[in-house]
Amino acid sequence: MLAPPENPPPVIGAEPQTVTLADRAAGVVNGTLEREFLGNTLSQWITFGAVLLGAFLVVWAIKAIVLARLKRWSDRTSTRIDDFVVTLVSDVRLALIAPGLVLLAARGLTLPSQVERVLHIAAMAGIAVQLVMSSRLLIDFGLKTLANKHRGPDGQPDPTLVSSLGVLRVIAMIVIATVVVLLALDNLNVEIKPLLAGLGIGGIAVALAVQNLLGDLFGSLTILLDKPFVVGDAITVGDKSGTVERIGIKTTRVRATSGEQLVFANSDLLSSRLHNYKRMHERRVAFTFGLTYETDPDLLARVPEMVKAAILAQKDVRFDRCHLKALNTSSVDYEVVYFVTTSDYGRYMDIQQAINLSLLRTFAQHRVEFAYPTQVAIQKTFNGGNADKTAAAAATAGGTEARTNR
C-alpha cells in the first residue's frame, strides 16, 4: 500500500486558506502563555499576580473605608470604646497579612512542598504577630479602664494600681503570646503535647534557676492583691523607714526619711515585719517628766489637771491620763498618755511641741521646777583629841556616798 504524498495536490474546486496577522498573534500569545516557568505556565503566574494584587486592594480598601466610618462615629461620641476600635483597626499591618494573602493567591499554582511549607509558616507567623500586637492594645485599653475606675478622693487613679500596671501587662502579654504560639504550631500540624511536656520539665528547671526572680514576681502580685501597703504609705522595715514611691515587678522603691532611695526585694518585704504608719487612724503618745522633791505636795496633786488642760487646748487630740508614776531618787515622775487623731507625723510633732511649751509656761507661773540630776556635797566635822576629823561625802543622784577622814 502506497503512502500518501507529503504535499497533496490541491483539490479542484476548493477555496484557498489564508492565515491572518491576528491569527498569527493569537498563536504567539497562546504559545507564550502556555510556556512553563518554575513548574507553572505563564498564564497561571499572571492569574496569581492578579489575585494577589486584587486581594491587597480589597484589604486596603476595606481598612480605609472602615477606618473612615469609625473616625466619623468616634468624633460624634464621647466614649473611649470607639476610640479604641479606631486604634485597633489602624494598627492592622498589611505587611503582616501579606504572607497570608500570598498563600491564598498561590492556591492556583503548583508549588514544591517545601515552598508551600515556607509560605504556610510565614502566613501563620504574620497572623500570630498581628494577633499579639492587637492583644497588646487590648490589654492596654483594659488596664487603663481599670485604673480609671479606681480613683481616689482627689480624682486621681490609685497610685498603687498605676505602679502595678506594668506587672499585669507583662503577665498578660506572656500568657497571650504563649497561647497564640501554641495555636500557630497546632495549625502547622506540630505535635504540641510533647512540646508541652518538654516545656513542663524545662519550666521546672528554669523555675529552680530563677526562683528568686519568680519569688519577687509573685511577691509583687501578692502586694497588689493583698495590699499590705500602697504607694504613698509611710512604712518601717527593720531599722529603715520611708515612703513607698513605686511597686515594681521585682523591687519596691522607698524614699527614706533621710532623703535617699531604698530598694527592697518584694519577697524580702513580704517576709519581714513591716510597720505601716499610713494605716494608723490615731497615734498613741506617752511621755514622762520629773519634778523636784521641793515642790509642795498640794501643788503636785494639781499637776495632772495642768497637763490635761495643756493637752486639751490642742486640736486633733484626745486626753487619756496623767498620773504620778514613781518617786525616783532625784525626781517625782509623772507619766502622760494622749492620742493624736491623725496619722500625720508632722502634725503630731507640732502638737507635742505646743504641749511642751504650754507646760513650761504653766509650771513657771506656779513655780514648779523640773528635776534634773544633782550632786550634793556633805561635809561633817568631828572633834576628837587634838585632830579634827572631817568627813566629806559626795552623794550623787544614785544615792552613793564616799567618806574621807583627815
In whole angstroms, what is the distance from residue 228 CA to residue 266 CA? 12
Which long-range contacts does 374-381 make (Cβ < 8 Å, 24+ apart)? 374/330
- What 3-state class would DSSP assign to 393? strand
**Half-sphere exposure in the Cβ direction for 228 (13 Å, CA):** 20
Nearest alpha-carbon partner for 240 in 264, 207, 216, 209:
264
In whole angstroms, what is the distance from residue 265 CA to residue 272 CA? 11
Query: pLDDT tens-digit profile of 240-255?
Result: 889 888 887 788 889 9
Query: pLDDT tens-digit profile of 89-110?
Result: 888 888 888 888 888 888 777 7
Evaluate the CA torsion angle 79, 84, 85, 87 in order and state its sign.
Answer: positive
Query: pLDDT tens-digit profile of 140-195?
Result: 888 787 777 766 666 666 666 666 677 778 778 888 888 888 888 777 777 767 76
Q: Which amino acid is at 53?
A: L
In whole angstroms, what is the distance from residue 363 CA to residue 372 CA? 15
Query: pLDDT tens-digit profile of 124-136?
Result: 888 888 888 888 8
Q: Which residue(s) pair with 337 in the sheet?
A: 286, 321
Q: Which residue(s) pair with 176 in the sheet?
A: none
CATH assignment of 284-365, given 3.30.70.100, 1.10.1060.10, 3.30.800.10, 3.90.220.20?
3.30.70.100
pTM above 0.75, yes or no: no
Domain ranges (residues) in the chain: 36-154+166-211, 216-276, 284-365
In whole angstroms, what is the distance from residue 220 CA to residue 246 CA? 11
Q: Find out whether 322 and 308 touch, Cβ atoms under 8 Å.
A: yes
CATH number of 216-276: 2.30.30.60
